[in-house]
Structure 1
Amino acid sequence: MTDDEVAARRHRTMEAEAEAEAEAEAEAEAEAATNATAAANADKGRTDEMNSDAAQDDQTGGPARTVRVVLVDDHRMFRTGVQAEIGRTEETGVEVVGEAADVDQAVTVITATRPEVVLLDVHLPGGGGVEVLRRSAAMMADPERPVRFLALSVSDAAEDVIGVIRGGARGYVTKTITGADLVDAVFRVSDGDAVFSPRLAGFVLDAFASTDAPPVDEDMDRLTQREREVLRLIARGYAYKEIAKQLFISVKTVESHVSAVLRKLQLSNRHELTRWATARRLV
């Protein structure tokens, strides 16, 4: 074989090796591209799955946050009813973290649990809702974790509304409120809003529109909150049984309150009591 033939064969061998190397590189690049595409598709699948899960969570209609609530009312059956109505946390976003039946219990439970909102009855053994507010003043003023109060009472009397608002409550609703509206009120109060049953807002506006201090009524000051409520219902013509049903107390307890009111006001009968209440616009 001549030198030229040897050189030609060597050249052909080199070309073949170069072609084989190029094919190998092309195959490697193709495999890398395939792997990259597969990885991208896998990432997209995971992202789509996460988005789908999030969309399903949104479609459940569950609450975006939870508000912790303490119920303060001296009637256990009423507390049980309120908890059953609004305390379904997964549906309403309200978590009932404590209950109390009187002033001392209320202050103890509120201090221990530090809820966002307290649903507070106006009439309580031990001094009433105003006393709970007075003893909770420091917690209401806490800039980082303020405890806010929403009065929830059977009473719609102006003096009761104004009393708890002056004491620091953020709102006042009556016990005729629906469960859905009460949940809404709880969330609004937790955000710092003021909430009132429609008819009661006027009492507050009228009270705070005046710069004059309210006149002192020594006779009224002698009465407890519960005695004032019984007095008002007596003056409206309610029978003892009707008052007992309205206030969730016994007829005997109503009679005891009436006797105490008559004694403290130095009146003889319910007719004088009615005239006395009418003169003070308590009816």
Structure 2
Amino acid sequence: MPTAIAVTSGDLALPPSDRHTPLAAVLQPPSAQSFEASITELHALLEQHGYVVVPYAAALPAAYVQRLHAVRSVLESDRIALLPVELPPLGVAVLARQLRQLSVCDFSPGVLASAARLLAHYIYAGALLPTVTRLDHVPVSLTAHARSWMPGSQFAVLASPAPQLAKVTGTEPGLLEGPSFATRLLVARGQLQSDWVTTVLAPAWQVQGHLETALPAESAGWWATPRLVEFAAAIPELSVLHQLVSSVRRELCRWCGLELIGDRCGFCSAPFADPHAQLERLPAQ
């Protein structure tokens, strides 16, 4: 069985990209499930799949994060990867689906888990907002705050891979710099009535089509307003994702022994220490 990819709410479990993409395992928050039931659920996933990878928004409520770590501690398992990512909810859902796509490939669990940080850099996640006055997750200038009070204002905000903010004017695409590679756009509509994302932003970014999905429940809190249209542009093809991950040098974690890519193990969070680089930094005798 492929490594299980779990999400922290059902609305982050996007439909499979194709018939080969496994479904996501959906975990429940502390308010909806007892501690004992959470232990039983994760233990069953480990027994069935061997390893579990859980990407979640870094802004996930502290009680939920503490529950995840407590369950892993009780199970005394180093086969559960808890991966906080600096993405808004729809971006987390897209990342989880990409990991689900890759889970059926020839990657070890360690490579799959550490690939989450790599893939997150290739997801352009943002939202169209009527106001940025209470937005905490993206830097907002005083000028933008002042403009938020003007009736009819709209702002295009990009949270990842680098923060951007532009005032939307008519049919102009604004100043949002889009991806330089082929992507498909996922759109989730909240209470804001606007087609700007699909009619203006999508053509400007030259996306390979767009799909619509339900707005994640966490989105209104993350963006500080229910009046929004959230979007995420990401690589859709499995072959491209596979090539991207395969191109990165693999190493062994010196702490838990699993394979990794990048500078940190996805399972034990130990940083990768290159012994050759350490020797080069030693002073000459």
Q: With structure 2 as the length reference, what TM-score do the two structures score?
A: 0.32
| More RCO (CA 8 Å, sep 6+) | 2
Structure with greater strand share of residues: 2
Q: With structure 1 as the length reference, what TM-score do the two structures score?
A: 0.32
Structure with greater helix share of residues: 1
